[in-house]
């Protein structure tokens, strides 16, 4: 069985959303200084790297991340390749790429994946996202989980409409996937966010399996 890790490695130089906390990862106890064991401290926002959005992220009375259904976060998933010339994933684009009929979990690989491939350390504002019309098309098709290969499912500075369409429909949103080494096709997905009580999101470890 082939196992593909599609999770970004969390380091202090990992790009973060403008205004979000930067990653601070440091050892507070050091064996070389006489400590019994090495112990590190981590400080970061919950939407850092590969992470899951809960409805509460954009809906004031929405569900928090610990309530997200595990049967949606695991199961058959399709990686769909979006052509590099696409700047925004619209309904029209989705109709052209012909999504799988039974695709309840869709992960979009776009030109964004090249940023992770190239090790780009600065936040990019021209990343590919899904507009509200594209989001509604996914909802109408019965998609339950949407994954994207940059830090937001929505285009830059157009966050709310897309998120609200998806999250109001209780579609699980997974952002910050590294799909740079993943071909289009059918896989088994396991995506497990940290079980943070009352949070609007959580970092996650996401892997794909294929026989």
**Annotated catalytic sites, by residue?**
57
Look-up of token digits 């959005």: 53
Q: How far is CA 6 from the centre of its chain?
A: 10
The answer to whether 153 and 51 have CB atoms below 8 angstroms apart is no
Strands 145-148 and 105-109, by their bridges, are parallel
| Distance (Å, whole) CA 200 – CA 51 | 11
| Distance (Å, whole) CA 55 – CA 62 | 5
Residue (of 197, 162, 190, 185) closest to 50 by Cα position: 190
The answer to whether 31 and 16 have CB atoms below 8 angstroms apart is no
| Distance (Å, whole) CA 8 – CA 6 | 7
């Amino acid at each position: 069985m082939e196992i593909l890790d599609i999770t970004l490695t969390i380091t202090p130089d990992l790009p973060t959303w403008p205004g979000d906390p930067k990653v601070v990862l440091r050892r507070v106890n050091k064996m070389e200084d006489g400590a019994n064991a090495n112990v590190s401290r981590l400080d970061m926002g919950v939407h850092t790297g590969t992470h899951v959005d809960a409805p509460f992220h954009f809906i004031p009375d929405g569900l928090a991340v610990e309530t997200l259904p595990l049967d949606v976060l695991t199961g058959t998933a399709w990686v769909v390749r979006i052509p590099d010339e696409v700047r925004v994933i619209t309904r029209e684009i989705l109709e052209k790429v012909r999504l799988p009929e039974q695709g309840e979990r869709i992960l979009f690989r776009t030109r964004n994946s090249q940023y992770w491939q190239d090790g780009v350390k600065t936040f990019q504002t021209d990343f590919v996202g899904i507009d509200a019309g594209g989001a509604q098309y996914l909802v109408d098709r019965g998609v339950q989980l949407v994954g994207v290969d940059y830090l937001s499912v929505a285009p830059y500075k157009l966050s709310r409409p897309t998120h609200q369409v998806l999250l109001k429909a209780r579609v699980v949103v997974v952002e910050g996937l590294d799909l740079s080494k993943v071909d289009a096709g059918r896989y088994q997905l396991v995506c497990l966010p940290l079980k943070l009580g009352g949070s609007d999101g959580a970092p996650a470890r996401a892997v794909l399996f294929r026989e």
